[in-house]
Amino acid sequence: MKLLRRPLLVLATLLVLMAFLVVQRERAARLNAASYTGLAHISGLLQLDMAVSPPVGAPRDILQLRVILTNHSEAIASPDLLLRIPSNLQIDTGKLPAGATLNLADNSLRWSAVIPGHGTAKEMTLPLKVTSADLAHPEQAIEAILSHQGQEQAVSTLIWTGIPPRINAITSASHVAVGQPVQLKVDAQGPGPLSETWDLGDGRRVPLNSPTIVYPTAGVYNVTVTVKNPLGSATHRDQLTIVPHV
């Protein structure tokens, strides 16, 4: 009976961890579903479509902000559009359309357009240069406030400005016994959200941050971790030795 206890214990531990990993994978999938599209929309007789491409960037990158106003009514429309731009994005003043004014104090842009009806559209495209990155708060919002005939509607889209991640080391234990749970950890730097994918060196891949895993067989495994954020990724490899029970 004593000879059977250890394999049964290892099997039970593996089953518990497998159930835990399934739950964590589902949670990670939900978190990763949220992405930066750079899109915003206001529907109605006076329609606004706003797009930032790409919606992520690093210092010195250029993001293109495109705004389209479409008048679906029969009458001429004269809306007022206020764009609030994050302070780390520099607006190219040479690309301002007619009727647009720039407020350098708060980095906002006001556009007063005259748009004929029957589906006529007017648009502008502005290059935005990323001058710096707030590493603590890389997620920023570009807000559009549309005013027309005494009514005001606001919409915003999220963008992300930062730098790619960097990995210093894998900080998990280097020696673990067969069947013993071990939590994989990495010392990574860079603005988040950060996601990790672990290659365990035995054919398994775990797309979780700091997962707890079990190796059922002794050996030396090359463990690889890839850390990603919205802008890029970094990879690091180390060895993990699984020793037999004494």
pLDDT in tens, 8-27: 444 444 444 444 344 344 44
Whether 96 contacts 83, CB under 8 Å: no
Calculate mean pLDDT across residues 210-217.
Answer: 94
| Percent of the chain at pLDDT exceeding 70 | 86
**What pLDDT was estimated at residue 246?**
60
**What pLDDT was estimated at residue 25?**
42
**What pLDDT was estimated at residue 245?**
73
Calculate mean pLDDT across residues 69-80.
Answer: 96
Top pLDDT among 135 and 234 is at 234
Residue 27 phi/psi, 5-degree rounding, is -65, -45
pLDDT in tens, 139-189: 999 999 999 999 999 999 999 999 999 999 999 888 999 999 999 999 999
Top pLDDT among 243 and 24 is at 243
Residue 218 phi/psi, 5-degree rounding, is -70, 155
Helix (H) or strand (E) holding 30: helix 2-33
Q: What share of the chain is helix, strand, coil (3-state, %, to 5)?
A: 15, 50, 35
pTM of the model: 0.77
Whether 160 contacts 139, CB under 8 Å: yes
**What pLDDT was estimated at residue 35?**
75
pLDDT of 87 over the 60 cut: yes
What span, in angstroms and rounded, lies between the C-alpha atoms of 187 and 174? 15
**What pLDDT was estimated at residue 46?**
96
